[in-house]
């Protein structure tokens, strides 16, 4: 939870560094409080960046003022990923350039707000297309596809988004910039990172912290499926020990409904 004063200080520190818009008015916040999911959460503020530098500045200043940050693109996510009590950064408005297409290498360089269908339209003359084809591709973006690891009806053949990302320039939580790219087999740096992660996970103190902070959806699922099983058996007549047919009302056999056409 952040206070109004904290938010005002944050906005005052960020605004002079921006080429884009930082909006804190109620109407904008209401518009960004929903996405394609069932959830509605008011953001603290909305940033519509014009440049990558706007994003870097916003994340750095947000970190310094303890303001949570949430990236957002077309908002077509179905599980509430694009709404939160945070500074929402909308990448879809201005950061939507296709920077390069190299047909021979079958590679493209894009900003995160590029709509999937727009990339495919640009690739079509070269006989290429982006592999994953989410059904929302007429508005969903590459940034959203990467963060959701979007798939589509042809993903069994062409793979998911993670299979197609070669490298990414990212802004880390503190506002630093890094480039992530594929790691070559046998890379010594990667082996060192894996060993360091394994050591962190093997530490019992760390395990306790992780367990304490991790939701247990498996427990909830277990209870739910248990309930569903009971209901089904009760409905079929098996729950009270009788064979289902012994509970059927007497009389003529009821006709089945006609199939839909
Ligand atoms: C009708 C319909 C059909 C759909 N069909 C499919 C389908 O076939 N396959 C499928 O996988 N999904 C499908 N979806 C879900 C959704 O459309 C996709 O996952 C899509 O890729 C989300 O993209 P978006 O641009 O709307 O992202 P958003 O919904 O805006 O954001 C998605 C996530 O990405 C993060 N994000 C966005 N931009 C950035 C960024 N620049 N940097 C870091 N994080 C970022 C957000 O924080 C959020 O967590 C469907 C949704 C609808 C409504």
By most ligand atoms within 8 Å of CB, the mutation choice from 140, 161, 178 for ligand 1 is 140
CB neighbourhood size of 241 (10 A)? 7
* Helix, coil or strand: residue 109: strand
Q: 104 CA distance to ligand 1 centroid (A)?
A: 29
pLDDT in tens, 137-186: 999 999 999 999 999 999 999 999 999 999 999 999 999 999 998 888 78
Place of tokens 């408005």: 93
Inter-residue contact 112 to 103 (CB < 8 Å): no
CB of residue 147 inside a 6 A radius of ligand 1: yes
Strands (DSSP E) found in 103-229 = 107-110, 167-171, 177-181
Ordered by where they begin, the domains of the chain are: 4-90 (3.30.43.10), 98-181 (3.30.465.10), 229-261 (no CATH)
Distance CA 40, CA 31 (A): 10
CB neighbourhood size of 114 (10 A)? 24
What pLDDT score was predicted for residue 216? Answer: 74
Residues of the chain with pLDDT under 50: 225-252, 254-255, 257-261
What pLDDT score was predicted for residue 215? Answer: 79
What pLDDT score was predicted for residue 219? Answer: 64
- What's the Cα-to-Cα distance from 131 to each of 128, 142, 178, 222, 261, rounded to whole Å? 9, 12, 26, 36, 34
Q: 35 CA distance to ligand 1 centroid (A)?
A: 10
Q: 49 CA distance to ligand 1 centroid (A)?
A: 19
């Amino acid at each position: 939870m952040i206070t109004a004063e904290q938010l005002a200080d944050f906005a005052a520190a960020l605004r002079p560094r921006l080429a884009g818009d930082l909006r804190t008015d109620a109407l904008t916040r209401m518009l960004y409080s929903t996405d394609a999911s069932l959830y509605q959460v008011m953001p603290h503020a909305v940033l519509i960046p014009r440049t990558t530098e706007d994003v870097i500045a916003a994340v750095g200043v947000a970190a310094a003022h303890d303001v949570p940050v949430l990236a957002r693109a077309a908002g077509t996510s179905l599980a509430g990923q694009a709404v939160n009590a945070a500074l929402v950064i909308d990448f879809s408005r201005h950061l939507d350039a296709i920077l390069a297409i190299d047909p021979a290498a079958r590679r493209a360089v894009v900003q995160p707000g590029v709509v999937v269908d727009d990339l495919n339209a640009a690739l079509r003359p070269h006989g290429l297309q982006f592999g994953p084809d989410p059904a929302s591709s007429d508005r969903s973006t590459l940034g959203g596809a990467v963060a959701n690891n979007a798939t589509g009806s042809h993903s069994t053949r062409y793979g998911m988004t993670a299979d197609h990302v070669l490298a990414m320039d990212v802004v880390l939580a503190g506002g630093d910039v890094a480039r992530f790219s594929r790691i070559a087999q046998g890379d010594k740096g990667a082996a060192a990172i894996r060993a360091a992660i394994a050591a962190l996970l093997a530490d019992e103190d760390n395990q306790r912290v992780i367990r304490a902070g991790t939701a247990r959806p498996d427990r909830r699922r277990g209870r739910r499926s248990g309930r569903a099983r009971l209901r089904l058996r009760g409905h079929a007549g098996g729950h009270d020990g009788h064979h289902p047919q012994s509970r059927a009302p007497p009389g003529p056999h009821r006709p089945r409904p006609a199939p839909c056409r």
